[in-house]
Structure 1
Amino acid sequence: MDTVTHALFGLTLYGAIDKSRMSLRDKRALLFTTVIGSEIPDIDVISQVWDTTGRYQMWHRGLTHSVFLIPVWAAVLVILTKLFWGRASRKLFGIGALAVFIHSTSDLFNAWGTGYLEPVSSTRITFGTIPIVSVTFWLIMLAGLLAARFTRGKWAPHRIFKVVWLLIALHVGMQSVQGYMLYQQAQTKYEQVALSADFVPGVFTIIGKTGDQVELTKGSTWAGQQTVASLQSSETADLNELFTGNPKAKTLQEWSPFVVVVDDGKQLGIYDPRFYRDGQSFLFESIERSAAK
Protein backbone atom coordinates (compact mmCIF):
# COMPACT_ATOMS: atom_id res chain seq x y z
CA MET A 1 0.00 0.00 0.00
CA ASP A 2 1.01 3.63 -0.33
CA THR A 3 2.41 5.71 2.54
CA VAL A 4 -0.86 7.58 3.16
CA THR A 5 -2.87 4.36 3.47
CA HIS A 6 -0.37 2.91 5.93
CA ALA A 7 -0.58 6.07 8.05
CA LEU A 8 -4.39 5.87 7.98
CA PHE A 9 -4.16 2.23 9.06
CA GLY A 10 -2.12 3.37 12.05
CA LEU A 11 -4.64 6.05 13.00
CA THR A 12 -7.52 3.61 12.58
CA LEU A 13 -5.76 1.09 14.81
CA TYR A 14 -5.28 3.84 17.40
CA GLY A 15 -8.98 4.67 17.14
CA ALA A 16 -9.98 1.03 17.70
CA ILE A 17 -8.39 0.94 21.17
CA ASP A 18 -10.32 2.01 24.27
CA LYS A 19 -8.38 4.94 25.75
CA SER A 20 -10.91 6.04 28.37
CA ARG A 21 -8.60 5.13 31.26
CA MET A 22 -5.32 6.20 29.67
CA SER A 23 -3.21 9.18 30.70
CA LEU A 24 -1.96 11.69 28.16
CA ARG A 25 1.48 10.05 28.15
CA ASP A 26 -0.11 6.65 27.59
CA LYS A 27 -2.07 8.01 24.64
CA ARG A 28 0.99 9.61 23.09
CA ALA A 29 2.98 6.40 23.43
CA LEU A 30 0.09 4.47 21.90
CA LEU A 31 -0.31 6.89 18.98
CA PHE A 32 3.42 6.71 18.28
CA THR A 33 3.31 2.92 18.36
CA THR A 34 0.36 2.56 15.98
CA VAL A 35 1.42 5.18 13.43
CA ILE A 36 5.17 4.55 13.37
CA GLY A 37 4.55 0.81 13.54
CA SER A 38 2.34 1.17 10.48
CA GLU A 39 5.15 2.91 8.58
CA ILE A 40 8.41 1.48 9.89
CA PRO A 41 8.84 -1.40 7.38
CA ASP A 42 9.18 1.23 4.64
CA ILE A 43 12.37 2.49 6.26
CA ASP A 44 14.06 0.45 3.53
CA VAL A 45 13.61 3.38 1.13
CA ILE A 46 16.83 4.84 2.50
CA SER A 47 18.69 1.98 0.76
CA GLN A 48 18.45 4.08 -2.41
CA VAL A 49 21.23 6.24 -0.96
CA TRP A 50 23.87 3.50 -1.12
CA ASP A 51 22.49 1.39 -3.98
CA THR A 52 25.19 1.31 -6.65
CA THR A 53 24.35 -2.12 -8.11
CA GLY A 54 20.70 -1.66 -9.10
CA ARG A 55 19.36 -3.87 -6.29
CA TYR A 56 16.90 -1.37 -4.81
CA GLN A 57 13.95 -3.06 -6.54
CA MET A 58 14.60 -6.15 -4.43
CA TRP A 59 15.59 -4.29 -1.26
CA HIS A 60 12.40 -2.21 -1.14
CA ARG A 61 9.64 -4.22 0.51
CA GLY A 62 12.23 -6.90 1.12
CA LEU A 63 13.72 -7.94 4.46
CA THR A 64 12.16 -5.05 6.41
CA HIS A 65 8.72 -6.43 5.44
CA SER A 66 9.54 -9.97 6.52
CA VAL A 67 7.13 -11.66 8.92
CA PHE A 68 10.18 -12.72 10.92
CA LEU A 69 11.07 -9.08 11.67
CA ILE A 70 7.69 -8.20 13.17
CA PRO A 71 8.77 -8.86 16.79
CA VAL A 72 12.04 -7.02 16.15
CA TRP A 73 10.22 -3.89 15.00
CA ALA A 74 7.77 -4.20 17.92
CA ALA A 75 10.69 -4.33 20.35
CA VAL A 76 12.24 -1.23 18.74
CA LEU A 77 8.94 0.63 19.18
CA VAL A 78 8.72 -0.32 22.86
CA ILE A 79 12.30 0.86 23.43
CA LEU A 80 11.42 4.21 21.85
CA THR A 81 8.20 4.66 23.85
CA LYS A 82 10.15 3.89 27.01
CA LEU A 83 12.78 6.44 26.02
CA PHE A 84 10.35 9.22 25.06
CA TRP A 85 7.39 8.70 27.41
CA GLY A 86 8.57 6.21 30.01
CA ARG A 87 6.04 3.68 28.79
CA ALA A 88 6.88 0.03 28.03
CA SER A 89 4.51 -2.92 28.35
CA ARG A 90 3.47 -6.20 26.80
CA LYS A 91 0.36 -4.46 25.54
CA LEU A 92 2.38 -1.84 23.67
CA PHE A 93 4.60 -4.59 22.27
CA GLY A 94 1.53 -6.49 21.04
CA ILE A 95 -0.04 -3.39 19.49
CA GLY A 96 3.26 -2.51 17.81
CA ALA A 97 3.54 -6.04 16.43
CA LEU A 98 -0.04 -5.81 15.13
CA ALA A 99 0.66 -2.47 13.41
CA VAL A 100 3.74 -3.89 11.66
CA PHE A 101 1.88 -7.08 10.77
CA ILE A 102 -0.91 -5.06 9.13
CA HIS A 103 1.65 -3.12 7.07
CA SER A 104 3.62 -6.11 5.85
CA THR A 105 0.59 -8.32 5.26
CA SER A 106 -1.49 -5.68 3.46
CA ASP A 107 1.39 -5.18 1.02
CA LEU A 108 1.06 -8.83 -0.03
CA PHE A 109 -2.29 -8.09 -1.64
CA ASN A 110 -1.14 -5.63 -4.31
CA ALA A 111 0.92 -6.28 -7.42
CA TRP A 112 4.16 -4.95 -5.92
CA GLY A 113 4.27 -7.70 -3.30
CA THR A 114 6.81 -8.19 -0.50
CA GLY A 115 9.67 -10.40 0.58
CA TYR A 116 7.37 -11.74 3.29
CA LEU A 117 9.51 -14.80 4.04
CA GLU A 118 12.98 -13.27 3.76
CA PRO A 119 15.65 -14.34 4.55
CA VAL A 120 14.28 -17.89 4.30
CA SER A 121 13.02 -17.22 0.77
CA SER A 122 13.78 -14.34 -1.58
CA THR A 123 10.57 -14.94 -3.57
CA ARG A 124 8.47 -11.81 -3.93
CA ILE A 125 5.00 -12.86 -2.76
CA THR A 126 2.08 -11.02 -4.37
CA PHE A 127 -1.64 -11.72 -4.68
CA GLY A 128 -2.58 -8.72 -6.82
CA THR A 129 -6.12 -8.48 -5.43
CA ILE A 130 -5.93 -4.94 -3.95
CA PRO A 131 -4.57 -1.87 -5.80
CA ILE A 132 -1.55 -0.12 -4.30
CA VAL A 133 -3.75 2.93 -3.66
CA SER A 134 -7.19 1.74 -2.52
CA VAL A 135 -9.83 4.45 -2.53
CA THR A 136 -12.21 1.90 -1.00
CA PHE A 137 -10.02 1.66 2.10
CA TRP A 138 -9.95 5.45 2.34
CA LEU A 139 -13.74 5.70 2.08
CA ILE A 140 -14.29 3.03 4.73
CA MET A 141 -11.91 4.78 7.14
CA LEU A 142 -13.41 8.20 6.38
CA ALA A 143 -16.89 6.83 7.08
CA GLY A 144 -15.64 5.52 10.41
CA LEU A 145 -14.09 8.88 11.31
CA LEU A 146 -17.31 10.74 10.49
CA ALA A 147 -19.42 8.22 12.39
CA ALA A 148 -17.17 8.55 15.45
CA ARG A 149 -17.36 12.33 15.30
CA PHE A 150 -21.09 12.79 14.73
CA THR A 151 -22.33 10.00 17.01
CA ARG A 152 -20.21 11.06 19.96
CA GLY A 153 -21.96 10.06 23.17
CA LYS A 154 -24.07 7.40 21.44
CA TRP A 155 -21.45 4.88 20.37
CA ALA A 156 -17.96 4.45 21.75
CA PRO A 157 -15.43 5.50 19.08
CA HIS A 158 -13.28 2.42 19.59
CA ARG A 159 -16.26 0.21 18.77
CA ILE A 160 -16.90 2.13 15.55
CA PHE A 161 -13.27 1.70 14.46
CA LYS A 162 -13.46 -2.01 15.21
CA VAL A 163 -16.34 -2.14 12.71
CA VAL A 164 -14.13 -0.23 10.26
CA TRP A 165 -11.49 -2.97 10.54
CA LEU A 166 -14.18 -5.59 10.01
CA LEU A 167 -15.34 -3.84 6.82
CA ILE A 168 -11.74 -3.56 5.58
CA ALA A 169 -11.24 -7.28 6.19
CA LEU A 170 -14.49 -8.10 4.38
CA HIS A 171 -13.42 -6.00 1.40
CA VAL A 172 -10.05 -7.74 1.22
CA GLY A 173 -11.78 -11.11 1.49
CA MET A 174 -14.28 -10.37 -1.28
CA GLN A 175 -11.60 -8.99 -3.57
CA SER A 176 -9.35 -11.97 -2.94
CA VAL A 177 -12.08 -14.54 -3.63
CA GLN A 178 -12.93 -12.86 -6.94
CA GLY A 179 -9.28 -12.52 -7.89
CA TYR A 180 -8.60 -16.16 -7.04
CA MET A 181 -11.49 -17.30 -9.24
CA LEU A 182 -10.17 -15.29 -12.20
CA TYR A 183 -6.62 -16.49 -11.59
CA GLN A 184 -7.71 -20.14 -11.54
CA GLN A 185 -9.63 -19.70 -14.80
CA ALA A 186 -6.64 -18.04 -16.46
CA GLN A 187 -4.27 -20.84 -15.45
CA THR A 188 -6.10 -23.19 -17.82
CA LYS A 189 -5.42 -20.83 -20.71
CA TYR A 190 -1.86 -19.55 -20.18
CA GLU A 191 1.50 -20.99 -19.17
CA GLN A 192 2.15 -18.14 -16.72
CA VAL A 193 -0.39 -15.88 -15.03
CA ALA A 194 -0.27 -12.72 -12.93
CA LEU A 195 -3.06 -10.63 -11.47
CA SER A 196 -3.42 -6.88 -10.93
CA ALA A 197 -6.41 -5.24 -9.23
CA ASP A 198 -7.99 -2.15 -10.73
CA PHE A 199 -8.96 0.94 -8.74
CA VAL A 200 -12.62 -0.07 -9.26
CA PRO A 201 -13.57 -2.83 -6.80
CA GLY A 202 -14.15 -6.20 -8.46
CA VAL A 203 -12.26 -5.28 -11.63
CA PHE A 204 -8.96 -7.03 -12.38
CA THR A 205 -6.40 -7.26 -15.15
CA ILE A 206 -5.23 -10.76 -15.97
CA ILE A 207 -1.74 -10.93 -17.45
CA GLY A 208 -1.16 -14.24 -19.21
CA LYS A 209 1.95 -15.44 -21.01
CA THR A 210 2.35 -18.39 -23.36
CA GLY A 211 5.63 -18.72 -25.23
CA ASP A 212 6.48 -15.28 -26.57
CA GLN A 213 2.90 -13.98 -26.44
CA VAL A 214 1.57 -11.90 -23.53
CA GLU A 215 -2.11 -10.99 -23.31
CA LEU A 216 -3.75 -8.50 -20.97
CA THR A 217 -7.46 -8.88 -20.31
CA LYS A 218 -9.53 -6.67 -18.03
CA GLY A 219 -12.89 -7.33 -16.41
CA SER A 220 -14.67 -8.96 -13.51
CA THR A 221 -16.13 -12.29 -12.44
CA TRP A 222 -19.63 -11.20 -13.45
CA ALA A 223 -18.93 -9.28 -16.66
CA GLY A 224 -16.15 -11.42 -18.09
CA GLN A 225 -12.75 -10.37 -19.42
CA GLN A 226 -11.99 -8.25 -22.49
CA THR A 227 -8.58 -8.13 -24.18
CA VAL A 228 -6.93 -4.74 -23.70
CA ALA A 229 -3.44 -5.47 -25.07
CA SER A 230 -1.51 -8.16 -26.89
CA LEU A 231 2.26 -8.04 -26.52
CA GLN A 232 5.08 -10.00 -28.11
CA SER A 233 8.23 -10.81 -26.18
CA SER A 234 11.57 -11.30 -27.95
CA GLU A 235 12.39 -14.47 -26.03
CA THR A 236 15.45 -15.33 -28.12
CA ALA A 237 17.26 -12.07 -27.31
CA ASP A 238 20.54 -12.36 -25.42
CA LEU A 239 19.88 -10.60 -22.12
CA ASN A 240 23.41 -10.95 -20.77
CA GLU A 241 24.47 -7.79 -22.60
CA LEU A 242 21.44 -5.99 -21.16
CA PHE A 243 22.29 -7.09 -17.63
CA THR A 244 25.90 -5.98 -18.11
CA GLY A 245 24.88 -2.56 -19.42
CA ASN A 246 22.02 -2.04 -16.96
CA PRO A 247 22.18 -4.04 -13.69
CA LYS A 248 18.68 -2.84 -12.75
CA ALA A 249 17.33 -5.02 -15.55
CA LYS A 250 18.71 -8.14 -13.87
CA THR A 251 17.01 -7.12 -10.64
CA LEU A 252 13.73 -6.46 -12.46
CA GLN A 253 13.79 -9.91 -14.04
CA GLU A 254 14.38 -11.49 -10.62
CA TRP A 255 11.66 -9.38 -9.02
CA SER A 256 8.89 -9.87 -11.61
CA PRO A 257 6.79 -13.03 -12.07
CA PHE A 258 7.70 -12.75 -15.77
CA VAL A 259 8.79 -10.01 -18.16
CA VAL A 260 8.33 -8.88 -21.74
CA VAL A 261 11.57 -8.61 -23.70
CA VAL A 262 11.98 -5.71 -26.15
CA ASP A 263 14.59 -6.03 -28.92
CA ASP A 264 13.62 -3.75 -31.81
CA GLY A 265 17.07 -3.02 -33.18
CA LYS A 266 17.27 0.29 -31.34
CA GLN A 267 16.58 -0.82 -27.79
CA LEU A 268 17.18 -3.95 -25.75
CA GLY A 269 15.14 -4.10 -22.58
CA ILE A 270 12.59 -5.80 -20.38
CA TYR A 271 9.47 -4.61 -18.59
CA ASP A 272 6.90 -5.94 -16.14
CA PRO A 273 3.57 -6.28 -18.01
CA ARG A 274 1.55 -5.98 -14.79
CA PHE A 275 2.25 -2.25 -14.90
CA TYR A 276 1.57 -1.81 -18.62
CA ARG A 277 -0.60 1.27 -19.24
CA ASP A 278 -1.16 3.36 -22.39
CA GLY A 279 1.44 1.52 -24.44
CA GLN A 280 4.22 1.35 -21.85
CA SER A 281 5.19 0.02 -18.42
CA PHE A 282 6.75 2.30 -15.82
CA LEU A 283 8.88 -0.66 -14.71
CA PHE A 284 11.06 -0.76 -17.83
CA GLU A 285 14.84 -1.18 -17.89
CA SER A 286 16.80 -1.00 -21.15
CA ILE A 287 19.94 0.03 -22.99
CA GLU A 288 20.39 1.55 -26.41
CA ARG A 289 21.08 -1.20 -28.92
CA SER A 290 24.21 0.56 -30.15
CA ALA A 291 25.53 0.48 -26.60
CA ALA A 292 24.88 -3.24 -26.40
CA LYS A 293 27.17 -4.08 -29.32
Structure 2
Amino acid sequence: MDTITHTLFGLGIYGAINKEHLSKKEKRVLLFTTIGASQIPDIDVISQLWDTDGRYQMWHRGITHSIFLTPIWALLFYLISWLLFAFKSKTIFFTALIAVIIHNTSDVFNAWGTGYLEPFSTARLTFGTIPIIDFVIWFVFIMVFLLSRKKKEQRVKIYRVGWALIALHIFLQSAQGYMLYHKYDQSYEQVALSASFVPWNFSVIAKSGNQVSIIDETIFTEGRIKEVLTSSDDANLDQLFSKNPRAKTLYEWAPFVVVVEDDQTYGIYDPRFYRNGQSFLFEYMENGKIDR
Protein backbone atom coordinates (compact mmCIF):
# COMPACT_ATOMS: atom_id res chain seq x y z
CA MET A 1 0.00 0.00 0.00
CA ASP A 2 1.06 3.63 -0.31
CA THR A 3 2.51 5.72 2.53
CA ILE A 4 -0.75 7.60 3.13
CA THR A 5 -2.69 4.35 3.57
CA HIS A 6 -0.13 2.97 6.02
CA THR A 7 -0.32 6.23 7.98
CA LEU A 8 -4.11 5.93 8.06
CA PHE A 9 -3.72 2.38 9.35
CA GLY A 10 -1.57 3.70 12.19
CA LEU A 11 -4.06 6.43 13.06
CA GLY A 12 -6.87 3.88 12.81
CA ILE A 13 -5.17 1.55 15.27
CA TYR A 14 -4.63 4.44 17.68
CA GLY A 15 -8.27 5.52 17.38
CA ALA A 16 -9.56 1.98 18.03
CA ILE A 17 -7.68 1.67 21.36
CA ASN A 18 -9.44 2.65 24.56
CA LYS A 19 -7.16 5.35 26.04
CA GLU A 20 -9.45 6.45 28.84
CA HIS A 21 -6.96 5.67 31.62
CA LEU A 22 -3.78 6.76 29.82
CA SER A 23 -1.88 9.94 30.59
CA LYS A 24 -1.03 12.48 27.88
CA LYS A 25 2.52 11.19 27.77
CA GLU A 26 1.37 7.59 27.38
CA LYS A 27 -1.00 8.64 24.60
CA ARG A 28 1.84 10.36 22.74
CA VAL A 29 4.03 7.26 23.01
CA LEU A 30 1.16 5.10 21.80
CA LEU A 31 0.52 7.41 18.83
CA PHE A 32 4.22 7.35 17.96
CA THR A 33 4.16 3.55 18.13
CA THR A 34 1.07 3.03 15.98
CA ILE A 35 2.24 5.36 13.21
CA GLY A 36 5.91 4.37 13.40
CA ALA A 37 5.22 0.64 13.41
CA SER A 38 2.77 1.08 10.54
CA GLN A 39 5.61 2.59 8.47
CA ILE A 40 8.75 0.76 9.64
CA PRO A 41 8.81 -2.09 7.08
CA ASP A 42 9.26 0.51 4.33
CA ILE A 43 12.59 1.52 5.83
CA ASP A 44 14.02 -0.75 3.13
CA VAL A 45 13.84 2.18 0.67
CA ILE A 46 17.23 3.29 1.97
CA SER A 47 18.75 0.19 0.35
CA GLN A 48 18.76 2.20 -2.89
CA LEU A 49 21.79 4.04 -1.49
CA TRP A 50 24.05 0.98 -1.71
CA ASP A 51 22.39 -0.89 -4.59
CA THR A 52 25.12 -1.32 -7.18
CA ASP A 53 23.85 -4.61 -8.64
CA GLY A 54 20.28 -3.68 -9.58
CA ARG A 55 18.76 -5.69 -6.72
CA TYR A 56 16.55 -2.98 -5.23
CA GLN A 57 13.44 -4.41 -6.87
CA MET A 58 13.94 -7.54 -4.74
CA TRP A 59 15.09 -5.72 -1.62
CA HIS A 60 12.10 -3.37 -1.50
CA ARG A 61 9.26 -5.13 0.27
CA GLY A 62 11.65 -7.98 0.91
CA ILE A 63 12.95 -9.18 4.27
CA THR A 64 11.65 -6.10 6.11
CA HIS A 65 8.13 -7.19 5.14
CA SER A 66 8.57 -10.77 6.31
CA ILE A 67 5.95 -12.04 8.73
CA PHE A 68 8.79 -13.67 10.65
CA LEU A 69 10.41 -10.29 11.33
CA THR A 70 7.32 -8.71 12.91
CA PRO A 71 8.29 -9.58 16.54
CA ILE A 72 11.68 -7.91 15.98
CA TRP A 73 10.04 -4.66 14.85
CA ALA A 74 7.62 -4.84 17.80
CA LEU A 75 10.51 -5.35 20.21
CA LEU A 76 12.27 -2.33 18.68
CA PHE A 77 9.31 -0.07 19.48
CA TYR A 78 9.03 -1.56 22.95
CA LEU A 79 12.68 -0.65 23.58
CA ILE A 80 12.26 2.84 22.12
CA SER A 81 9.27 3.40 24.39
CA TRP A 82 11.23 2.20 27.42
CA LEU A 83 14.61 3.82 26.77
CA LEU A 84 13.56 7.13 25.20
CA PHE A 85 10.19 7.78 26.80
CA ALA A 86 10.53 5.86 30.07
CA PHE A 87 7.28 4.07 29.31
CA LYS A 88 7.49 0.31 29.78
CA SER A 89 4.36 -1.60 28.82
CA LYS A 90 3.47 -4.81 27.04
CA THR A 91 0.75 -2.79 25.30
CA ILE A 92 3.41 -1.07 23.21
CA PHE A 93 4.87 -4.39 22.07
CA PHE A 94 1.54 -5.91 21.05
CA THR A 95 0.27 -2.68 19.48
CA ALA A 96 3.45 -2.44 17.38
CA LEU A 97 3.13 -6.12 16.48
CA ILE A 98 -0.41 -5.62 15.20
CA ALA A 99 0.61 -2.50 13.24
CA VAL A 100 3.50 -4.27 11.47
CA ILE A 101 1.38 -7.34 10.71
CA ILE A 102 -1.28 -5.10 9.15
CA HIS A 103 1.37 -3.34 7.04
CA ASN A 104 2.98 -6.53 5.78
CA THR A 105 -0.27 -8.40 5.20
CA SER A 106 -2.04 -5.53 3.44
CA ASP A 107 0.87 -5.28 0.98
CA VAL A 108 0.33 -8.92 0.02
CA PHE A 109 -3.08 -8.03 -1.40
CA ASN A 110 -1.82 -5.68 -4.13
CA ALA A 111 0.02 -6.54 -7.31
CA TRP A 112 3.43 -5.44 -6.05
CA GLY A 113 3.46 -8.17 -3.42
CA THR A 114 6.03 -8.78 -0.67
CA GLY A 115 8.69 -11.19 0.49
CA TYR A 116 6.20 -12.28 3.13
CA LEU A 117 7.92 -15.61 3.81
CA GLU A 118 11.55 -14.49 3.61
CA PRO A 119 14.14 -15.77 4.39
CA PHE A 120 12.55 -19.20 3.91
CA SER A 121 11.21 -18.32 0.45
CA THR A 122 12.30 -15.64 -2.02
CA ALA A 123 8.97 -15.82 -3.89
CA ARG A 124 6.88 -12.66 -3.99
CA LEU A 125 3.53 -13.33 -2.38
CA THR A 126 0.88 -11.30 -4.20
CA PHE A 127 -2.88 -11.60 -4.63
CA GLY A 128 -3.48 -8.50 -6.76
CA THR A 129 -6.98 -8.01 -5.35
CA ILE A 130 -6.45 -4.56 -3.79
CA PRO A 131 -4.92 -1.56 -5.62
CA ILE A 132 -1.77 -0.04 -4.16
CA ILE A 133 -3.76 3.14 -3.55
CA ASP A 134 -7.21 2.10 -2.36
CA PHE A 135 -9.58 5.04 -2.28
CA VAL A 136 -12.26 2.98 -0.51
CA ILE A 137 -9.93 2.62 2.49
CA TRP A 138 -9.19 6.35 2.37
CA PHE A 139 -12.91 7.14 2.24
CA VAL A 140 -13.73 4.89 5.21
CA PHE A 141 -11.02 6.47 7.38
CA ILE A 142 -12.06 10.01 6.40
CA MET A 143 -15.66 9.29 7.32
CA VAL A 144 -14.59 7.62 10.58
CA PHE A 145 -12.43 10.63 11.47
CA LEU A 146 -15.21 13.14 10.75
CA LEU A 147 -17.86 11.11 12.57
CA SER A 148 -15.65 10.52 15.61
CA ARG A 149 -15.13 14.28 16.00
CA LYS A 150 -18.87 14.79 16.23
CA LYS A 151 -19.49 11.86 18.56
CA LYS A 152 -16.40 11.86 20.76
CA GLU A 153 -17.97 9.63 23.40
CA GLN A 154 -18.28 6.86 20.79
CA ARG A 155 -14.89 7.44 19.14
CA VAL A 156 -13.41 4.01 19.91
CA LYS A 157 -16.53 2.23 18.72
CA ILE A 158 -16.63 4.25 15.49
CA TYR A 159 -13.01 3.40 14.69
CA ARG A 160 -13.64 -0.28 15.33
CA VAL A 161 -16.66 -0.22 13.02
CA GLY A 162 -14.41 1.45 10.43
CA TRP A 163 -11.92 -1.41 10.72
CA ALA A 164 -14.76 -3.90 10.26
CA LEU A 165 -15.86 -2.11 7.08
CA ILE A 166 -12.31 -2.16 5.71
CA ALA A 167 -12.01 -5.88 6.47
CA LEU A 168 -15.33 -6.46 4.67
CA HIS A 169 -14.13 -4.45 1.68
CA ILE A 170 -10.90 -6.47 1.43
CA PHE A 171 -12.84 -9.72 1.80
CA LEU A 172 -15.30 -8.83 -0.98
CA GLN A 173 -12.53 -7.67 -3.30
CA SER A 174 -10.45 -10.77 -2.66
CA ALA A 175 -13.38 -13.17 -3.01
CA GLN A 176 -14.19 -11.68 -6.41
CA GLY A 177 -10.53 -11.78 -7.42
CA TYR A 178 -10.36 -15.43 -6.40
CA MET A 179 -13.35 -16.29 -8.59
CA LEU A 180 -11.93 -14.42 -11.57
CA TYR A 181 -8.52 -16.03 -11.15
CA HIS A 182 -9.99 -19.52 -11.26
CA LYS A 183 -12.23 -18.59 -14.18
CA TYR A 184 -9.09 -18.15 -16.33
CA ASP A 185 -6.72 -20.53 -14.56
CA GLN A 186 -8.04 -23.53 -16.50
CA SER A 187 -7.68 -21.88 -19.91
CA TYR A 188 -4.25 -20.23 -19.63
CA GLU A 189 -0.81 -21.38 -18.58
CA GLN A 190 -0.22 -18.45 -16.21
CA VAL A 191 -2.62 -15.95 -14.66
CA ALA A 192 -2.13 -12.87 -12.51
CA LEU A 193 -4.47 -10.20 -11.18
CA SER A 194 -4.20 -6.46 -10.89
CA ALA A 195 -7.03 -4.63 -9.10
CA SER A 196 -8.36 -1.44 -10.62
CA PHE A 197 -8.80 1.78 -8.64
CA VAL A 198 -12.53 1.27 -9.27
CA PRO A 199 -13.91 -1.23 -6.71
CA TRP A 200 -14.82 -4.70 -8.01
CA ASN A 201 -12.97 -4.11 -11.30
CA PHE A 202 -9.86 -6.10 -12.20
CA SER A 203 -7.34 -6.63 -14.94
CA VAL A 204 -6.71 -10.32 -15.55
CA ILE A 205 -3.29 -10.89 -17.10
CA ALA A 206 -3.31 -14.29 -18.74
CA LYS A 207 -0.47 -15.95 -20.65
CA SER A 208 -0.64 -18.87 -23.05
CA GLY A 209 2.40 -19.68 -25.17
CA ASN A 210 3.94 -16.37 -26.16
CA GLN A 211 0.64 -14.48 -26.05
CA VAL A 212 -0.29 -12.35 -23.06
CA SER A 213 -3.88 -11.08 -22.84
CA ILE A 214 -4.92 -8.21 -20.60
CA ILE A 215 -8.62 -8.59 -19.85
CA ASP A 216 -10.88 -6.08 -18.09
CA GLU A 217 -13.14 -8.12 -15.81
CA THR A 218 -15.78 -8.05 -13.10
CA ILE A 219 -17.85 -10.94 -11.78
CA PHE A 220 -20.98 -9.16 -13.05
CA THR A 221 -19.95 -8.59 -16.68
CA GLU A 222 -18.34 -10.46 -19.54
CA GLY A 223 -14.59 -10.01 -19.78
CA ARG A 224 -13.26 -7.62 -22.43
CA ILE A 225 -9.83 -8.19 -23.94
CA LYS A 226 -8.08 -4.84 -23.74
CA GLU A 227 -4.65 -5.79 -25.07
CA VAL A 228 -2.96 -8.82 -26.61
CA LEU A 229 0.81 -8.72 -26.24
CA THR A 230 3.32 -10.95 -27.97
CA SER A 231 6.38 -12.02 -26.01
CA SER A 232 9.62 -13.03 -27.74
CA ASP A 233 10.10 -15.94 -25.38
CA ASP A 234 12.77 -17.57 -27.54
CA ALA A 235 15.13 -14.63 -27.08
CA ASN A 236 18.35 -15.27 -25.17
CA LEU A 237 18.23 -12.93 -22.18
CA ASP A 238 21.75 -13.59 -20.88
CA GLN A 239 23.25 -10.56 -22.59
CA LEU A 240 20.43 -8.32 -21.40
CA PHE A 241 20.92 -9.53 -17.83
CA SER A 242 24.67 -8.97 -18.13
CA LYS A 243 24.35 -5.39 -19.33
CA ASN A 244 21.27 -4.46 -17.30
CA PRO A 245 21.24 -6.32 -13.95
CA ARG A 246 17.88 -4.74 -13.07
CA ALA A 247 16.34 -6.78 -15.88
CA LYS A 248 17.43 -10.02 -14.23
CA THR A 249 15.98 -8.83 -10.94
CA LEU A 250 12.67 -7.98 -12.62
CA TYR A 251 12.63 -11.42 -14.27
CA GLU A 252 13.01 -13.09 -10.84
CA TRP A 253 10.52 -10.74 -9.19
CA ALA A 254 7.56 -10.78 -11.58
CA PRO A 255 5.18 -13.77 -11.96
CA PHE A 256 5.94 -13.64 -15.69
CA VAL A 257 7.24 -11.06 -18.14
CA VAL A 258 6.82 -9.94 -21.73
CA VAL A 259 10.04 -10.07 -23.73
CA VAL A 260 10.57 -7.33 -26.32
CA GLU A 261 13.06 -7.79 -29.14
CA ASP A 262 12.86 -5.43 -32.11
CA ASP A 263 15.04 -3.00 -34.05
CA GLN A 264 14.97 -0.41 -31.26
CA THR A 265 14.59 -2.26 -27.99
CA TYR A 266 15.64 -5.45 -26.28
CA GLY A 267 14.11 -5.89 -22.84
CA ILE A 268 11.42 -7.26 -20.55
CA TYR A 269 8.47 -5.76 -18.73
CA ASP A 270 5.83 -6.77 -16.21
CA PRO A 271 2.44 -6.83 -18.01
CA ARG A 272 0.52 -6.30 -14.76
CA PHE A 273 1.57 -2.66 -14.89
CA TYR A 274 0.89 -2.15 -18.60
CA ARG A 275 -0.95 1.12 -19.21
CA ASN A 276 -1.32 3.28 -22.32
CA GLY A 277 1.02 1.19 -24.43
CA GLN A 278 3.81 0.66 -21.91
CA SER A 279 4.67 -0.76 -18.49
CA PHE A 280 6.41 1.38 -15.91
CA LEU A 281 8.32 -1.75 -14.84
CA PHE A 282 10.36 -2.05 -18.05
CA GLU A 283 14.06 -2.89 -18.12
CA TYR A 284 15.81 -2.83 -21.47
CA MET A 285 18.85 -1.96 -23.54
CA GLU A 286 19.18 -0.48 -27.00
CA ASN A 287 19.00 -3.29 -29.52
CA GLY A 288 21.96 -1.91 -31.45
CA LYS A 289 24.18 -2.76 -28.47
CA ILE A 290 23.45 -6.48 -28.67
CA ASP A 291 26.22 -8.64 -30.02
CA ARG A 292 24.86 -10.64 -32.93
Bin for the TM-score computed over the shorter chain: over 0.9
Q: Equivalents in 2 of 1:34, 1:151: separation in Å? A: 23
Q: Is the CA contact (8 Å cut-off) linking 1:207 and 1:214 kept in structure 2?
A: yes
Equivalence map 1:111-150=2 (5 Å): 111-150=111-150
Distance 1:287 1:88 in 2: 55
Aligned to 1:160: 158
Work out the CA distance in 2 between the residues paired with 1:289 and 1:216: 26
The Cα offsets for residues 195-248 of structure 1, whole Å up to 9 and x where unpaired, read as 000001000000000010000000200012101100000011110010011000
Instruction: Tell me, in whole angstroms, the C-alpha distance in 2 between the residues paired with 1:100 and 1:14.
Output: 13
Please, what is the CA RMSD of the aligned residues?
A: 0.7
The count of residues paired between Structure 1 and Structure 2 equals: 291
Q: Cα offset for 1:108?
A: 0.2
Aligned twin of 1:190? 188
Instruction: Tell me, in whole angstroms, the C-alpha distance in 1 between the residues paired with 2:245 and 2:38.
Output: 32
Aligned to 2:279: 281
Structure-1 residue corresponding to 2:245 = 247
The superposition leaves residues 98-152 of structure 1 with CA deviations (integer Å, 9 ceiling, x where unpaired) of 0000000000000000000000000000000000000000000111111101123
Give the distance between the partners of 1:14 and 1:168, measured in 2 at CA. 16
State the partner residue of 1:77. Answer: 77
| Rounded Cα–Cα distance in structure 2 between residues aligned with 1:217 and 1:147 | 39
Q: Is the 8 A contact 1:218 1:225 kept in 2?
A: yes
Cα distance in 2 between the residues matched to 1:31 and 1:37: 10
* Residues 233 and 260, structure 1, Cα contact 8 Å, conserved in 2: yes
CA offsets, 1:240-284, max 9 Å, x none? 010011000000000000000000122110000000000000000
Give the aligned partner of residue 234 of structure 1: 232
2:270 to 269, 272, 275: 272
Q: CA separation in 1, counterparts of 2:88 and 2:113? A: 32
Q: Which residue of 1 aligns with 2:254?
A: 256
TM-score by length of 2: 0.99
**Partner of 1:217 in structure 2?**
215
The amino acid of 2:177's aligned partner reads G
Q: Is the 8 A contact 1:243 1:249 kept in 2?
A: yes
> 2:289 and 2:10 mapped to 1: Cα distance?
48
Correspondence for 2:9: 9
1:36 equivalent in structure 2: 36
Q: CA deviation at 1:184?
A: 0.3
Say which SS state the counterpart of residue 287 (structure 1) adopts.
Answer: strand
**Counterpart code for 2:32:** F
Q: Which moved more, 1:97-106 or 1:142-151?
A: 142-151
Q: By how many angstroms is 1:189 displaced?
A: 1.4
Identity of aligned residues (%): 54
Q: What 5-or-longer segments of structure 1 have no aligned partner?
A: none
Choose 207-216 or 81-90, whichever is displaced more.
Answer: 81-90
CA distance in 1 between partners of 2:143 and 2:70 (Å): 29
TM-score (norm 1): 0.98
1 CA distance for matches of 2:178 and 2:232? 29
Which runs of 5 or more structure 2 residues have no equivalent in the other structure? none
Q: Is the 8 A contact 1:245 1:292 kept in 2?
A: no
Matched to 1:233, the amino acid is S
